[in-house]
């Protein structure tokens, strides 16, 4: 078994920052504040079955989905934890149509935060893993007043950090600041995230595919062929693959990151842009997976190079082990 240095998330962030003499510590503060919000959300998620918090609020979000109370709770908690730290100039959330301004009484900083407060929220009632995803950019708008939509609409390769928190059998905080991917497990008894997955590297090729196969009828012909190909027996290429699909992107990608494999949410006849959101889901997960040695594309080009046009833009995604993503791209290309 690999011996892992006993370290907390807070100390790890500090140690990483010290490698860069020019660092001001602001990004560290942001990550630290996010970890605090994560602990509070984790506590609430763990209580979900006990308190009267399940069910719909009755309102729907900008995507026309019914919003669950825990989505709203996580969204509000993140804003509450992040808006007054002095390091952000603007935020945006999957659960809010517009950008979120920093209240005028607080300092305005140089960073931009985008987040999906609760991912996989349709799984809440069944006690299945859900998560939070975040993405951090440097501001690009001039001056040091409030941030703008322009600050939020940056391509993914400009991210300075990204991460996710899974509320699963344990709560795990995974992040990258462009120097590898590191995972920390929350010890609920003393409330610290402890380094449990240092420098995560994803296998070059996996044995798992993850996709909502109920949409088969509506898929691109190349994708239909690819999935059938994965199901055929061929020992030399490790087939057939196993199928695993939770329906929480965070949890599906986290599992594949550790074991190797491919997660897909494709475009189809009914949803020409797929389902998942570029700014809150695809970019941060793509940054993390690439940092772990994997690949993320929309079927043709790198997710991180897409120039966003809208805050809530959707994009097809194929993400995971490099060889698996290259293979699906080939099937799509050769079956146009």
Binding site as annotated, residues for Mg(2+)? 94, 116, 118-119, 281
Residue with tokens 């149509």: 97
Nearer to ligand AHG, 213 or 334 (CB): 213
Comparing every residue's Cβ against Mn ion, the nearest one is 119
* Nearest to ligand AHG of 142, 272 (CB atom): 272
Task: Specify the stretch interacting with Mn ion by CB under 5 A; choose among 41-49, 75-83, 115-123, 208-216.
Answer: 115-123
198 by Cβ neighbours in 10 Å (0-12 / 13-18 / 19+) ranks as middle
Binds 275: which of Mn ion, ligand AHG, none (CB < 5-8 Å by kind): ligand AHG
Encoded tokens for 191: 């409330």
**Window 61-100: contact mask with Mn ion (x via CB under 5 A):** ---------------------------------x------
Name the residue nearer to ligand AHG (CB basis): 132 or 176: 132
DSSP-derived secondary structure for 29-43? HHHHHHHHHHHHHHH
Using rule CB under 5 A, residue 116 touches Mn ion? yes
For residue 248, the partner it binds in Mn ion, ligand AHG, none, with Cβ less than 5 to 8 A by kind, is ligand AHG
- Phi, psi dihedral angles at 296 (to 5 degrees): -140, 125
- 277 and 314 in contact (C-beta within 8 Å)? yes
As given in the structure block, the two tokens for residue 297 are: 């594309």
Annotated binding site for substrate: 119-122, 212, 245, 275
Which single residue is written with the structure tokens 């997960």? 285
Shortest Cβ distance from residue 63 to ligand AHG (Å)? Answer: 7
Minimum gap (Å) between residue 253 Cβ and Mn ion: 11
Rounded to the nearest 10°, the torsion over CA 144, 147, 149, 152 is 100
Name the site residues for ligand AHG (rule: CB under 6 A). Answer: 94, 116, 119-121, 212, 247-249, 275
Q: Which does 90 bind (CB under 5 to 8 A by kind): Mn ion, ligand AHG, none?
A: none
Summarize the annotated binding site as residue ranges: 94, 116, 118-122, 212, 245, 275, 281
**Stretch touching Mn ion by CB under 5 A, among 85-93, 113-121, 154-162, 265-273:** 113-121
Query: In the bound complex, what is the minimum distance in angstroms from residue 288's beta carbon to Mn ion?
Result: 15
Which is closer to ligand AHG, CB of 69 or CB of 275?
A: 275
d(CA 151, CA 58): 32
Q: How far apart are CA 129 and CA 37, in angstroms?
A: 18
Q: Which of 27/45 has CB closer to ligand AHG? A: 45
Distance of CA 28 to the CA centre of its chain: 19
For the bound state, the minimum distance from the C-beta of residue 65 to Mn ion, rounded and expressed in Å, comes to 5
d(CA 325, CA 255): 16
**Rounded-to-integer distance, Cα 41 and Cα 56, Å:** 18
Find, among 261, 271, 252, the residue nearest to 323 by Cα. 261
Inter-residue contact 286 to 310 (CB < 8 Å): no
- Write out the two tokens for 111: 């960073």
Contact region for Mn ion (CB under 5 A) — 98-106, 110-118, 153-161, 209-217?
110-118
Quote the least distance from Cβ 311 to Mn ion, whole Å. Answer: 14
E-assigned strands of 103-228?
A: 111-119, 130-138, 161-167, 171-176, 181-187, 192-197, 208-210
Task: For Mn ion, give the closer residue by CB, 263 or 331.
Answer: 263
Closer residue to ligand AHG (CB): 99 or 249: 249
Give the whole-angstrom CA distance, residue 130 versus residue 245.
Answer: 13
In angstroms, what is the minimal distance from the CB of 71 to ligand AHG?
A: 7
Note the residues at the interface with Mn ion (CB under 5 A): 94, 116, 118-119
């Amino acid at each position: 078994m690999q011996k892992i240095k006993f370290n907390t998330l807070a100390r790890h962030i500090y140690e990483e920052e010290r490698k860069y003499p020019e660092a001001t510590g602001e990004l560290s503060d942001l990550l630290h504040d996010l970890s605090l919000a994560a602990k509070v959300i984790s506590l609430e998620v763990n209580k979900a079955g006990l308190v009267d918090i399940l069910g719909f609020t009755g309102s729907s979000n900008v995507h026309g989905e019914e919003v669950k109370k825990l989505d709203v709770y996580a969204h509000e908690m993140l804003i509450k934890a992040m808006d007054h730290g002095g390091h952000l100039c603007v935020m945006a959330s999957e659960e809010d149509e517009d950008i979120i301004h920093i209240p005028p009484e607080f300092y305005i900083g140089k960073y931009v935060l985008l987040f999906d407060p609760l991912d996989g929220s349709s799984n809440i009632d069944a006690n299945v893993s859900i998560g939070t995803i975040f993405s951090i950019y440097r501001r690009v708008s001039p001056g040091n007043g409030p941030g703008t939509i322009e600050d939020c609409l940056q391509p993914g390769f400009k991210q300075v950090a990204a991460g996710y928190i899974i509320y699963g059998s344990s709560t795990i905080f995974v992040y990258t600041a462009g120097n590898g991917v590191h995972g920390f497990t929350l010890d609920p008894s003393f409330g610290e995230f402890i380094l449990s997955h240092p420098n995560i590297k994803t296998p070059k090729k996996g044995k798992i595919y993850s996709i909502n196969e109920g949409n088969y009828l509506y898929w691109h012909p190349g994708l239909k062929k690819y999935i059938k190909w994965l199901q055929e027996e061929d020992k030399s290429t490790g087939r057939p693959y196993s199928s695993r699909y939770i329906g929480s992107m965070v949890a599906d990608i986290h599992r594949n990151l550790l074991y190797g494999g491919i997660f897909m949410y494709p475009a189809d006849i009914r949803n020409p842009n797929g389902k998942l959101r570029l700014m809150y889901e695809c970019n941060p997960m793509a940054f993390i997976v690439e940092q772990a040695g994997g690949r993320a594309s929309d079927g043709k080009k790198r997710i991180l190079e897409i120039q966003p046009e809208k805050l809530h833009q959707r994009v097809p995604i194929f993400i995971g082990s490099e060889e698996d993503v290259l293979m699906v791209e080939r099937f799509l290309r050769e079956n146009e």
